[in-house]
Amino acid sequence: MGYGYAAPADPAFESRMRGEIIAAARAMNVGGTDFSTFENSRCNPRYWTRTGGGGFELNANVTPSAAINDIFVNGQLYAFECAMAMVMILYKATINMIGEAAFNRNFTGLYLWDWNYDSNLKLITTFNRNELQPGDVVYFKNPDHDPAKPEWQGENAIMLSRDTYYGHGLGIKNATQMITSLNRERVPGSRTSAYLADEGLHPDFAYIASLGNSRLSPPISAKVNVKTAIFSRIGTKSYIVR
């Protein structure tokens, strides 16, 4: 469920990065990307190679920051599901906080698929809804979704404010609107409503800040094996439609 220990964070850095996460979510909302299942995902082949499972593997001849930034510049070339969108947003915010050079040093060999993320994007899970803050990743669970539509089992979202969320595919809505949208995709006749889950994710802000300081950055290999990337999740939204 993500990285569990957090060193004390600089409140100013955390506040700025939460702002960057929110800004990246809003940018994705208007950037022209489409929602899709893994089967129908697409990416810009200049920066990414689409894998058989519908993920995106960084091309060898481009920098990680350029590839992430392209998603927000040429959004019409991309289609992906909502967990991938959350990771992309967190990467974009990280670039904006520590700079392209530090990001490229520390985030090599990117592979985007579901909740796969580079080990340097250390995420912390909280399990108390009262602790959620704008800039956190949250999850709207739809326990009685139509089994023929696994893409509607829930929605990963960025909390933009106390009652405003961005979910890739659903856009910007309040909690009631998110739940209403998911409830439309339940098993016919179901009375079990979708709901906002208690858990949330956010980066280890202190660790991310350290990556911007070359004296504190850990040594990074020239090419990270994508199979060693961290795989975490919030909620249960993971599916491949065949």
The answer to whether the CB of 209 falls within 8 A of the CB of 114 is: no
Q: What is the pLDDT along the chain (242 residues), one digit of tens a residue?
A: 454 445 566 999 999 999 999 999 999 999 999 999 999 999 999 999 999 999 999 999 999 999 999 999 999 999 999 999 999 999 999 999 999 999 999 999 999 999 999 999 999 999 999 999 999 999 999 999 999 888 899 999 999 999 999 999 999 999 999 999 999 999 999 999 999 999 999 999 999 999 998 544 443 333 334 333 444 445 533 333 32
Distances (CA, A) of 113 to 2, 212, 232: 16, 25, 11
Q: In the chain, where are the structural domains located?
A: 11-223
One-letter amino acid at 106 equals N
User: CA nearest 78: which of 35, 38, 39?
Assistant: 35
Interatomic CA distance for residues 5 and 178, integer angstroms: 31
Instruction: Write the burial class of residue 189 (CB in 10 Å: 0-12 exposed, 13-18 middle, 19+ buried).
Output: exposed
Predicted TM-score (pTM) of the model is 0.87
Structural element, H or E, at residue 96: helix 82-98
Size of the chain in residues? 242
3-class secondary-structure state, position 187? coil
